[in-house]
């Protein structure tokens, strides 16, 4: 039953995330066509605001995921219902504060921070006000989605995400095409759709909770019980936000809005790897928490390594393809040689960083399942101390490339130092298994095959030729990766023998 549920959750998450990522890739070039690169830079600025303000999550969405999984496993129905209601009140209050705060500072940001050339300052100010409303409308969604994941309702959550992301992206293009090619029209549509998504997800979470004779109430005692984990997650979030957003904040000030748009376009393409990682981590985290709570260490170890290998199988073929063939991918994606010229190097560097980051996903989930938050907190503090001086040192010489390079250096440091520290405390016998079997072999196989195919195939050609080259390269790397990993190799052998 467990294996069936887990497999179903992983497949549902992967399908939903893959579809959302595909939708993003398909529609971004259309946004640029209708709005221009400068206005697209404002969409990138929305991502900065969302990243910075995610600190106000206070670790509650991850806490709800973990605590619902633990309470559901132990049959504490009323506590689960009260915990959702308690955090719900907190989240909606924060959403109101976010909207008010951004509206107040919008004139200052529009006039003194972003470097606008072609757009009217008044239009930029209106766009920033609308960004505040987008973030506020979307804010409780992370809580509700965390709750559904904790209740193992991940198929439902994937359906909601996939359907709403389709309406969100496709509807935005229709609005820009048929109604108004303005950044304000784009953000107004986002407000409507993310608001509907939040309300629907909240409804489904409340409907999915086990029934109880007593109505759900606000309960401070439940917050006291999980405050240490939530505080730890807040600390991790705070330093992670500084770590991941500092480059964007600095570059949004130093670069023109157009150049910043190119930077965020490369970041967007690189970050699509997240859509391949999160289905695995989202599906496995509640079960990891449950196994830790019940003390089933051997089963926990097996599940952890399967998760690490699944991440490798999903991200290495796609990621190394983007590292080695950025020009082919960008010209097929955008059909704009100027975009290719301004972003191909950035894409390759960013993707290397996201590949390293993907390797750390399951180790981080294991730490959270144990409630161990201090390692990630102190790791990120050290990274920040290194990051900020490094950025100010490199940006004058390298420009936007400096942000991508610092990202790679920091992620490489985490892979080299965080993993040994973690495995000294958690499943200590498994560190070299992680480095060699879960990560090393599939990565090396993909790099060798990808590099050989890169040397064999021409750099230019027709659209059909480019598609053929990319398909052959991806298929070869995926097969090699699947054969290198024990869990997928066993599955392939069963299929062949059948």
Distance (Å, whole) CA 12 – CA 6: 10
pLDDT value at position 1? 43
Compare 449 and 110 and report the one with higher pLDDT.
449
What percentage of the chain has pLDDT greater than the value 70? Answer: 83
- Cβ–Cβ < 8 Å for 198, 136: no
User: What band does 315 get if pLDDT is binned at 50, 70 and 90?
Assistant: very high
pLDDT digits (tens, 9 = 90+) for 214-226: 776 766 776 666 6
pLDDT digits over 440-468, tens only?
999 999 999 999 988 887 666 677 888 88
**Over residues 184-193, mean pLDDT:** 92
| Residue 25: burial class (beta carbons within 10 Å; 0-12, 13-18, 19+) | middle
Q: Give tens-digit pLDDT for 464-490.
A: 888 888 899 999 999 999 999 988 887
pLDDT at 76: 63
Q: pLDDT value at position 112?
A: 77
Closest CA relative to residue 56, chosen from 129, 150, 146, 142: 142
**Is residue 8 over pLDDT 80?**
no
Average pLDDT, the chain: 82
User: What are the residue boundaries of the structural domains of the chain, listed by start?
Assistant: 2-497
Mean pLDDT of 393-412: 84
Percent of the chain with pLDDT over 90: 19
**Contact (Cβ atoms closer than 8 angstroms) between residue 487 and residue 310:** yes
Query: 121-130, 192-201, 206-215, 236-245: lowest mean pLDDT where?
Result: 236-245
- Tell me, what's the pLDDT at 2? 44
Strand, coil or helix: 465: helix
CA dihedral 367→358→407→432, nearest 10 degrees, is 70
- What pLDDT sits at residue 443? 93
- Characterize 122-144 residue by residue with b for buried, 16 or more Cβ atoms within 10 angstroms of its Cβ, and e for exposed: ebbbbbbbbbbbbbbbbbbbbbb
For 160-177, letters b (16+ CB in 10 Å) and e give: bbbebbeebbeebbebbe
- What pLDDT shows up at residue 349? 93
pLDDT at site 335? 82
**Sign of the dihedral defined by the CA atoms of residues 471, 477, 481, 483, in that order:** positive
Measuring CA to CA, which residue among 255, 278, 276, 261 is closest to residue 322? 276
User: Per residue in 333-385, pLDDT tens?
Assistant: 888 888 888 889 999 999 999 999 999 999 988 998 888 878 887 887 888 78
Token look-up 């053929």 returns 468
Does the pLDDT value for residue 147 go beyond 60? yes
Paired tokens of 194:
């993310």
Report the alpha-carbon distance of residue 244 to residue 134 in Å, rounded: 21
CA angle 483, 485, 486 (to 5 degrees): 100
Between residues 163 and 49, the one the model is more confident about: 163
CB atoms within 10 A of CB 492: 13
Compute the chain's Rg from CA coordinates.
23
Say how many C-beta atoms besides its own lie within 10 A of residue 2's C-beta: 11
CB 39 within 8 A of CB 119: yes
Quote the pTM value.
Answer: 0.72
Contacts of 145 (CB under 8 A, 6+ apart): 61, 157, 161, 201
Query: Predicted confidence band at 66 (pLDDT cuts at 50, 70, 90)?
Result: low
CA distances in angstroms from 471 to 34, 442, 443, 450, 464, listed in the order given: 30, 18, 18, 12, 10
pLDDT value of position 123: 86
Residues 6+ apart with CB under 8 A from 471: none
Question: Confidence band (pLDDT; 50, 70, 90) for 438?
Answer: very high
- Helix, strand, coil percentages for the chain (3-state, nearest 5): 90, 0, 10
DSSP symbols for 336-365: -HHHHHHHHHHHHHHHHHHHHHHHTHHHHH
The CA-based angle 271-277-279, given to 5 degrees, is: 120
pLDDT digits (tens, 9 = 90+) for 223-276: 666 666 666 666 666 667 777 777 777 777 777 778 888 888 888 888 888 878
Closest CA to 226 of 368, 53, 427, 96: 368
- Residue 108's pLDDT is 87
Q: Does the structure show a pLDDT above 80 at 68?
A: no
Q: Could you write out the three-class secondary structure of 407-444?
A: HHHHHHHHHHHHHHHHHCCCCHHHHHHHHHHHHHHHHH
Please measure the distance between the N-terminal and C-terminal CA atoms of the chain and give it in whole angstroms: 23
Mean pLDDT within 38-56? 75
Q: What would the mean pLDDT of 166-193 be, rounded to a whole number?
A: 91
> Nearest 5°: CA angle at 165, between 161 and 360?
60
Long-range contact pairs involving 26-33 (C-beta distance under 8 Å, separation at least 24)? 26/169, 27/169, 27/170, 27/172, 27/173, 28/265, 28/268, 28/333, 29/333, 29/334, 29/335, 29/336, 30/173, 30/176, 31/172, 31/173, 31/176, 31/186, 32/261, 32/265, 32/334, 32/336, 32/339
Residues 284 and 365: beta-carbon distance below 8 Å: yes
Q: If DSSP codes are grouped into helix, strand and coil, which group holds residue 36? A: coil
56 vs 167, higher pLDDT: 167
Residues 172, 177: Cα–Cα separation, whole Å? 9
């Amino acid at each position: 039953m467990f294996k069936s549920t887990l497999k179903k959750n992983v497949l549902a998450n992967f399908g939903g995330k893959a579809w959302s990522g595909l939708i993003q890739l398909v529609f971004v070039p259309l946004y640029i066509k209708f709005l221009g690169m400068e206005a697209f830079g404002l969409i990138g600025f929305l991502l900065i605001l969302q990243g910075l303000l995610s600190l106000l999550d206070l670790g509650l969405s991850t806490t709800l995921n973990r605590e619902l999984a633990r309470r559901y496993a132990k049959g504490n129905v009323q506590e689960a219902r009260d915990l959702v209601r308690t955090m719900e009140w907190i989240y909606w209050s924060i959403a109101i504060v976010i909207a008010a705060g951004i509206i107040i500072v919008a004139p200052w940001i529009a006039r003194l921070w972003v470097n606008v050339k072609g757009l009217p300052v008044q239009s930029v100010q209106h766009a920033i006000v609308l960004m505040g409303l987008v973030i506020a409308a979307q804010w409780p969604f992370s809580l509700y989605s965390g709750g559904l994941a904790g209740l193992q309702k991940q198929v439902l959550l994937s359906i909601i995400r996939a359907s709403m992301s389709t309406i969100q992206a496709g509807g935005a293009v229709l609005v820009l095409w048929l109604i108004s090619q303005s950044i304000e029209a784009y953000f107004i549509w986002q407000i409507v759709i993310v608001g509907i998504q939040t309300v629907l997800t909240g409804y489904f979470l409340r409907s999915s909770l086990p029934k109880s004779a007593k109505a759900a109430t606000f309960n401070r005692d439940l917050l006291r019980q999980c405050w240490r984990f939530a505080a730890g997650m807040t600390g991790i979030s705070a330093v992670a936000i500084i770590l991941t957003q500092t480059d964007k904040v600095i570059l949004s000030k130093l670069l023109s809005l157009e150049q910043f748009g190119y930077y965020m376009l490369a970041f967007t393409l690189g970050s699509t790897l997240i859509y391949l990682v999160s289905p695995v981590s989202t599906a496995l985290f509640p079960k990891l928490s449950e196994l830790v709570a019940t003390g089933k260490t051997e089963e926990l170890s097996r599940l952890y390594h399967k998760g690490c290998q699944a991440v490798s199988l999903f991200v290495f073929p796609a990621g190394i393809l983007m590292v080695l063939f950025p020009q082919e991918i960008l010209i097929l994606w955008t059909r704009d040689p100027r975009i290719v010229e301004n972003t191909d190097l950035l894409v390759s560097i960013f993707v290397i960083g996201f590949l390293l980051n993907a390797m750390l996903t399951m180790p981080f989930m294991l730490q959270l399942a144990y409630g161990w938050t201090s390692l990630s907190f102190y790791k990120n503090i050290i990274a920040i101390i290194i990051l900020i001086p490094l950025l100010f040192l490199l940006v004058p010489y390298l420009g936007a490339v400096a942000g991508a390079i610092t990202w790679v250096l920091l992620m490489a440091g985490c892979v080299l130092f965080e993993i040994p520290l973690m495995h000294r405390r958690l499943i200590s016998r498994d560190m070299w298994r992680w480095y060699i079997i879960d990560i090393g072999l599939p990565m090396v196989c993909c790099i060798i095959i990808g590099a050989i195919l890169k040397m064999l195939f021409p750099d230019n050609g027709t659209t059909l030729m480019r598609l053929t080259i990319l398909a052959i390269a991806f298929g070869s790397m995926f097969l090699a990766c699947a054969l290198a990993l024990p869990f997928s190799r066993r599955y392939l052998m069963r299929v062949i023998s059948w």
